[in-house]
Structure 1
């Protein structure tokens, strides 16, 4: 099962993450306002390189833990990333996620990119269910889920500790089944 690359949308190009993307990712992953919703401290450049390597060295799709990490490019510039992680090969369940540079927020890029990833998940990758876990305070991300037609399935109260702040955080879980996706 393969997805033809790159994936093109109306305004964006999604392509596999590459080692040379580390500086572009570091530009926003180093920011406190980005890391606060990721339940980890900001990343240094080496951390960004490891994030990319995890995707590049991922097992083939169809193996639990496979990671499809995609750079989201606007006019040739990396403005964020999105992707899927196959959480269960047996149950054909994948987790979707996205992270964007804050200066590109509010333009619909995350929704556009995530919609393309859902099309790949429910198309050539043959995923049955895609879900997103996100900080309940991250209103822009849960609004993306709702624009995509995902349903809120759970509200997990004080479900994780943010290691950067030591504070408890609550999460929403959104999901969609293949039969619910309208492309």
Structure 2
């Protein structure tokens, strides 16, 4: 597998690597408890966002288990980052790729998450050679459930109380799609 070419464009969005100039925008949503609660971790501090940006801006080799690619999502014509889509190489040998996303709630309800996730899923299958793309999400994250369903991913599992944050047990859904299903769905 190889590192994909970025930026990517959709009808309304530009998808690109993060830069150090994106700190304020990244912190604007990664520092929110309402975003972090679905990621089973506390909100990021500004310093943690600085560290994250350094890693994100470097890209990835996309060769070993755990390598990830984090794509900044910007409305066309704007430099503002409204969210991100992440691809994580879960298994290089089996070509299993996890997809996830986090968006600033201020930009919710506009279809940005679905549009960006669709473009990044296409990248995973067409350029990165993914065999299986999957998403793990909190069952209470109804917005992400809708994104998975709009992408025509199938719900494969419901994991009950499989994760614990500081306040509650969390349950997860696992959604997935195979490369051959992506191709059929897109023709």
TM-score normalised by length of structure 2: 0.92
Specify every segment of 5 or more residues in structure 2 that has no aligned partner in the other structure, as ranges: none
Moved more, 106-115 or 48-57: 48-57
Which structure shows the higher helix fraction?
2
Aligned to 1:180: 181
Aligned to 2:95: 92
How far off its partner does 1:106 sit? Answer: 0.9
Query: What are the Cα deviations for residues 60-102 of structure 1, in whole angstroms up to 9, with x where unaligned?
Result: 1122111111100012211001120101100101110110000
User: Structure 1 residue 11 and structure 2 residue 12: aligned?
Assistant: yes
Structure 2 counterparts to residues 57-96 of structure 1, below 5 A: 57=58, 59-74=60-75, 75-96=78-99
Contact 2:158 2:172 in 1 (8 A): yes
Moved more, 144-153 or 16-25: 16-25
Give the paired residue count: 181
TM-score normalised by length of structure 1: 0.94
- Counterparts in 2 of 1:103 and 1:92: CA distance versus 1, 3 Å: same
1:128 to 131, 134, 139: 131
How far off its partner does 1:54 sit? Answer: 3.3
Secondary structure in 1 aligned to 2:94?
coil
How far off its partner does 1:122 sit? Answer: 0.3
Specify every segment of 5 or more residues in structure 1 that has no aligned partner in the other structure, as ranges: none
Aligned to 1:147: 150
Q: CA RMSD in A?
A: 1.3
Aligned to 1:41: 42
